[in-house]
Amino acid sequence: AQKVTQAQTEISVVEKEDVTLDCVYETRDTTYYLFWYKQPPSGELVFLIRRNSFDEQNEISGRYSWNFQKSTSSFNFTITASQVVDSAVYFCALNRQGGAQKLVFGQGTRLTINP
Amino acid sequence: GAGVSQSPSNKVTEKGKDVELRCDPISGHTALYWYRQSLGQGLEFLIYFQGNSAPDKSGLPSDRFSAERTGGSVSTLTIQRTQQEDSAVYLCASSRLGGTYVGYTFGSGTRLTVV
């Protein structure tokens, strides 16, 4: 069975602070994908990143960075110099590779950036 | 179309009535997924389609829920004899199988309120 755990239900920081959202996953599959999605107040899900299980290189995209550690089954997401527009619910997700595969989502972390 | 289209965007129904939710995926996307998001909760997988067949219906919460897809395109999620606990946002996503990975595209959802 697959499971994604986002232990942080809510995080609140002041603008310009760095913030890390934790994600821990469980799977018996040897190949899988990990994802992060952003859900702003408007409700649509916005794709941020997909990471292949055999690629443990960290990735940086502007103020966003992701740290994938297979040894601890974690895929954490860091926002550097946070901005008010980063306020949203962030979901970590997992699916196995091959064909049409359902995404298994964590419960989400509500991030509030205060001015 | 350009994106995944869901209708209606909002639906208020009386307890015990049947409802139909529609999802029109991106043209050419073979896979289609239904998720449910209850207030303040994560996304719960319901069912997915590969073409017109549904290899995984494991997430449907009860036999009051059913879904079909015709012509490899539009899908309808039907909830019979609605209950108040069915109130949620129902999200549809589609993805393409094979070729260059394009990811899952989510619709804006149907907010269902059972009164």
pLDDT at A101: 79
DSSP A46-86: EEEEEEETT----EEETTEEEEEEGGGTEEEEEESS--GGG
pLDDT at B39: 80
Q: How close A18 gets to chain B, by Cα (Å)?
A: 24
Instruction: Tell me, letter by letter, the H, E, C secondary structure of A14-57.
Output: ECCCCEEECCEEECCCCCEEEEEEEECCCCCCEEEEEEECCCCC
pLDDT at B101: 63
- Cβ–Cβ of A105/B48 closer than 8 Å? no
Of A44, A50, A104, the CB nearest to B106: A44
- Cβ–Cβ of A103/B45 closer than 8 Å? yes
pLDDT in tens, chain B (115 residues): 579 999 999 999 999 999 999 999 999 888 999 999 998 778 999 999 988 999 889 899 999 999 999 988 999 999 999 999 999 999 999 988 766 666 788 999 999 999 9
pLDDT at B1: 54
Q: Length of chain A in residues, anyone?
A: 115
- Testing the interface with B: which of A37, A103, A107 to mutate, by most B Cβ within 10 A? A103
Q: Which two tokens stand for residue A97?
A: 């590779």
- Cβ–Cβ of A100/B31 closer than 8 Å? yes
Q: Nearest chain A Cα to B51, which residue?
A: A100
Q: Is the peptide bond prior to B8 cis by the omega test (within 30 degrees of 0)?
A: yes
What is the pLDDT of chain B when averaged over all its residues?
91
First to last CA, chain A: 41
Each as own residue / partner, the long-range contacts of residues B39-48 (CB below 8 Å, 24 or more positions apart, any chain) are: B39/B87, B39/B88, B41/A107, B41/A108, B42/A91, B42/A105, B42/A106, B42/A107, B42/A108, B43/A91, B43/A93, B43/A103, B43/A105, B43/B91, B44/A105, B45/A102, B45/A103, B45/A104, B45/A105, B46/B77, B46/B90, B47/B77, B48/A100, B48/A102
Q: Nearest chain B Cα to A91, which residue?
A: B42
Task: Tell whether the model's pLDDT for residue A99 goes beyond 80.
Answer: no
Of B97, B101, B109, the CB nearest to A43: B109
pLDDT at B99: 61
pLDDT at B88: 96
